[in-house]
């Protein structure tokens, strides 16, 4: 039961990664690419980590996985913001 659930979560996570990667390759400009990449990958990573946490041997490992997700959420959101802001500055500056 747990195996099925965690496989489903991991597969769902992989789907979002795929969607984010396709978005990165196919979308027309930097802002929409950033949007696709950070949003889809953050959700994908969350699902992946939820799936892996179900397989963890104890609660401590599950907690560590959760911390990894939270750290990446904060870092990638900030990075997306910084990249977009810099791009906007370059656009309006030139």
Partner 1 sequence: MNALMLLVFDGLLLLGIVSLAWASLASSDDRNSVILFMAFGLVLAVAWGRLMAADVALAEAAIGAGLSGALLLAAVRKRPAQMAAGRANNSHNPDRTGVNMLLQWSVTLLCAALAGTLAWALLDAFSSTPHETLPQAISANLEASGVSNPVTAVLLNFRAYDTLLELAVLLTAVLGILAMGRATAVYQPAGPIFDGLVRWLVPVLILTAGYLLWVGAHAPGGAFQAGATLAAAGVVLHLAGHPRIGLPAGFALRILMAAGVAVFLAVGLSLLVMGRPFLGYPPAWAGALILIIESAAMLAIAATLVLAFVGAFPRSTATRAASRQVREEEAR
Under rule CB under 8 A, residue 74 binds partner 1: yes
DSSP 94: -
Q: Which of 18, 61, 68, 75 binds partner 1 (CB under 8 A)?
A: 75
Q: Which of 18, 22, 61, 82 binds partner 1 (CB under 8 A)?
A: 82
Of the two residues 18 and 75, which places its CB atom closer to partner 1 in the complex? 75
Q: DSSP strand E in the chain: where? A: none
* Whether the Cβ atoms of residue 50 and residue 88 lie closer than 8 Å to each other: no
Under rule CB under 8 A, residue 85 binds partner 1: yes
Give the Cα separation of 24 and 33 in Å (integer).
Answer: 5
Of the two residues 11 and 82, which places its CB atom closer to partner 1 in the complex? 82
Extract the tokens encoding 44: 């994908």
Q: Which of 78, 83, 87, 93 binds partner 1 (CB under 8 A)?
A: 78
Q: Which residues contact 35 (CB under 8 A, 6 or more apart)?
A: 23, 80
Q: Which of residues 9-68 bind partner 1 (CB under 8 A)?
A: none
């Amino acid at each position: 039961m747990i195996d099925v659930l965690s496989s489903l979560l991991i597969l769902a996570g992989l789907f979002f990664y795929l969607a984010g990667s396709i978005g990165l390759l196919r979308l027309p400009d930097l802002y929409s690419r950033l949007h696709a990449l950070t949003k889809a990958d953050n959700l994908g990573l969350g699902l992946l980590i939820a799936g892996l946490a179900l397989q963890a041997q104890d609660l401590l490992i599950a907690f560590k996985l959760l911390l990894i997700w939270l750290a990446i959420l904060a870092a990638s959101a900030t990075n997306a913001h910084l990249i977009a802001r810099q791009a906007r500055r370059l656009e309006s500056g030139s």
